[in-house]
Structures are given as C-alpha cells and as structure tokens.
C-alpha cells in the first residue's frame, strides 16, 4: 500500500476522466471514500461507480468550478453525504475556450476561461473546504499544475501561465494554512495521453510546430515521438502515476511536506 487513507474522504474536481479519474481510483485503492466532481454529470457518476466497485463509498456531483455557488453546494452536499472532507484535489482544468485548435493564437476568451478554471476555480474550491479543514485542525490540498508551468510555451502561453500561477498560489496557500496543519502541494504532470494531449497532437500533426519534422504524423505516433525525443526515461506518464503521488501527499506519511511542486515527468524537468 502506497499510503493508508482508510477513513479519509477526498473531493476531486475534474474527476470524470483522464488524470482526475486516475487520481480518484488511486485514492480509493488506498482506502479513501471519494466525492467525484465534474462538469459532466455522467462522467462523475461513472467514476463514482468505479470507486464503489473498489469497495469504497462514493458520491458524484456536477460542479462548475467557475461558479462559487456550484462549488459551495457540492462541498455542503459532500459533507452531508460522506461526513467530512480530509483531502481536496484541484484537478479541473482546460487548455482554452471552445474552438481553440482552430485559431492561430489564443484569444482573449482563451485567456479568460483558462484562468477562470485553472486558477480561480482552484482558489474557490480551496476556499470552500478550508474552513472545514481549519475547524478540524488538519487537511490535505493537492493542486494539479503542469510542467508547462515551469517554462513558457509559444504554442499555449495562456495555459502555461495559468499553471505557473497554480504553482505560485500553492506556495502562498501553504504558508497561509501551515499553522492549521493543512498541507498544500502541487503535482506537475509531464506527458500523458489524455483527451487534452490528443487534441494537442492532432493540432501539431495538422499545422506543425517548432518541431517541423513531426508534421503529418498521426496524433498518437506524434505523441510517442515527442516522448522519445524529449523525455529521458522515454516512457509516457499515466493518470495512475499522478494518482499514486496524490495518494502519498494525502497521507500521514507526507505530513511534513508542504508548499512543494513535484514533477512526474520522466525527467523532462529536473529541479
């Protein structure tokens, strides 16, 4: 067992697919009950059903993290249905507004919506649960950032900037909550074949990128080429990889780790 989360309750935003699903299942495998929150109700329900098949309690919630009332309602319902919230994983994220891959450069709407979800959504969800955690004198908040937040991006500068903000806010929040024995950490995933990366690969395959030699390759083949060329370990990451680190950070074994942003990227970024 990575970490014993028996008796703990986790609220995971963006839980319905990809990294969020991987985190939800990893936490459940270590003994946690899961409140699965997602913008798409059906996806949240599917993950909650998977958690229950692992023998844990689960509750699905349709949540828009850009709407404070939606977040507060989900937190209140989760507390009523599951009794407590020990762990918050801020995973909900987007790479831009609808139609971003049809534009040559990010629009004002891309910038605004990305920051509303990736930054403000994370902040509002944390603010919604931290009162409960402060009252109990403990808690774990885990923010899903990205290695894109470690350096700029000519292709998706709005996204990389939002993830840099997520890392910075993680540190600020860790300082604010440390006296209450609440830890706040970030995970920076590398390259995962998720719906988001599938869209990136499709765009690069169609329009090219700074790596002009990959233009024209099928999306998955292009992704594998990028993994091979940029990742020292030459092995893509999986949602389960991210989930296992989240489970550790959520456990008592990580009680003295806070304010950190930890890369899970096969060695692309080392610090």
Strand-pair partners of 186 = 143, 261
The answer to whether position 259 is within a domain reads yes
Domain that holds residue 48: 9-191+238-264
Q: What is the pLDDT of residue 217?
A: 66
Instruction: Looking at the structure, tell me whether residues 130 and 255 fall in a common domain.
Output: yes
Same domain, 94 and 205: no
- CATH at residue 24: 3.40.50.720
Residues 175 and 210 in one domain: no
Residue from 60, 118, 147, 159 carrying the catalytic annotation: 159
Q: Is residue 231 part of a domain?
A: yes
Where do runs of H (alpha helix) occur along 138-234?
157-177, 195-207, 219-230
Q: What average pLDDT is seen over the chain?
A: 92
For residues 120 and 231, membership in a common domain is answered with no
Residue 119, token pair as written in the block: 């930054």
CA distance 255 to 18: 27
| Residue 212: per-residue pLDDT | 46
pLDDT for res 101: 73
Helices 122-136, 68-82: inter-axial angle, 10-degree rounding = 40
**Does residue 232 fall inside a structural domain?**
yes
Q: Which of 45-54, 98-107, 179-188, 258-267 is least confident?
A: 98-107
Confidence at residue 39, expressed as pLDDT on a 0 to 100 scale: 98
253: which residues sit within 8 A by CB, 6+ positions away? 3
Task: Give per-residue pLDDT as tens, 201-231.
Answer: 766 655 555 554 455 566 778 778 888 888 8
pLDDT band at residue 117 under the 50/70/90 scheme: very high
Is the pLDDT reported for residue 191 higher than 70?
yes
Task: Give domain status of residue 98, yes or no.
Answer: yes
Cα–Cα distance for residue pair 91/27, rounded to 1 Å: 14
Residues 200 and 108 in one domain: no
* pLDDT over 90 at 25, yes or no: yes
Please state which of the ranges 82-96, 162-176, 225-239 shows the lowest mean pLDDT.
Answer: 225-239
Task: Name the one residue in this structure whose structure tokens are 């550790």.
Answer: 248
Distance CA 175, CA 257 (A): 12
Q: Is 132 a catalytic residue?
A: no
Do 116 and 200 lie in one domain? The reply is: no
**Which percentage of the chain shows pLDDT scores above 90?**
74
| 258: confidence class by pLDDT, cuts 50, 70, 90 | very high
pLDDT digit string, tens, across residues 127-174? 999 999 999 999 999 999 999 999 888 888 999 999 999 999 999 999
74 and 179 share one domain:
yes
In a domain, 157, yes or no: yes
- Note whether 183 and 122 are same-domain residues: yes
DSSP sequence for 213-263: GGTTS-HHHHHHHHHHHH-TT---B-HHHHHHHHHHHHSGGGTT--S-EEE
Considering the domain architecture, whether residues 106 and 219 belong to the same structural domain is answered as: no
Domain annotation covers residue 153 = yes
The structure's pTM equals: 0.93
Q: Is the domain of 126 the same as that of 144?
A: yes
Could you tell me if 75 and 205 lie in one domain?
no
Does any domain span residue 22?
yes
Count of domains forming the chain: 2
């Amino acid at each position: 067992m990575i970490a014993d989360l028996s008796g703990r309750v986790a609220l995971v935003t963006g839980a319905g697919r990809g990294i969020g699903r991987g985190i939800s299942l990893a936490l459940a495998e270590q003994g946690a009950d899961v409140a699965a929150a997602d913008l798409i109700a059906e996806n949240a329900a599917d993950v909650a059903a998977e958690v229950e098949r692992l023998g844990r309690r689960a509750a699905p919630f349709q949540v828009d993290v850009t709407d404070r009332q939606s977040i507060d309602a989900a937190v209140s319902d989760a507390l009523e249905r599951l009794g407590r919230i020990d762990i918050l994983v801020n995973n909900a994220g987007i790479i831009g507004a609808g139609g971003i891959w049809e534009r040559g450069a990010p629009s004002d709407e891309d910038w605004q919506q990305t920051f509303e979800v990736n930054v403000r959504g994370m902040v509002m969800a944390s603010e919604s649960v931290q009162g409960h955690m402060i009252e109990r004198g403990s808690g774990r908040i885990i923010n899903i950032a990205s290695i894109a937040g470690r350096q700029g991006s000519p292709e998706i500068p709005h996204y990389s900037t939002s993830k840099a903000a997520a890392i910075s806010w993680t540190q600020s929040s860790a300082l604010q909550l440390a006296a209450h024995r609440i830890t706040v950490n970030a995970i920076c995933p590398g390259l995962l074949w998720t719906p988001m990366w599938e869209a990136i690969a499709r765009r690069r395959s169609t329009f090219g990128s700074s790596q002009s030699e990959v233009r024209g390759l099928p999306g998955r083949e292009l992704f594998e080429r990028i993994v091979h060329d940029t990742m020292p370990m030459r092995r893509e990451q999986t949602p389960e990889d991210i989930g296992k680190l989240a489970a550790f950070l959520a456990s008592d074994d990580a009680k003295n780790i806070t304010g950190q942003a930890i890369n899970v990227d096969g060695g692309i970024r080392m610090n």
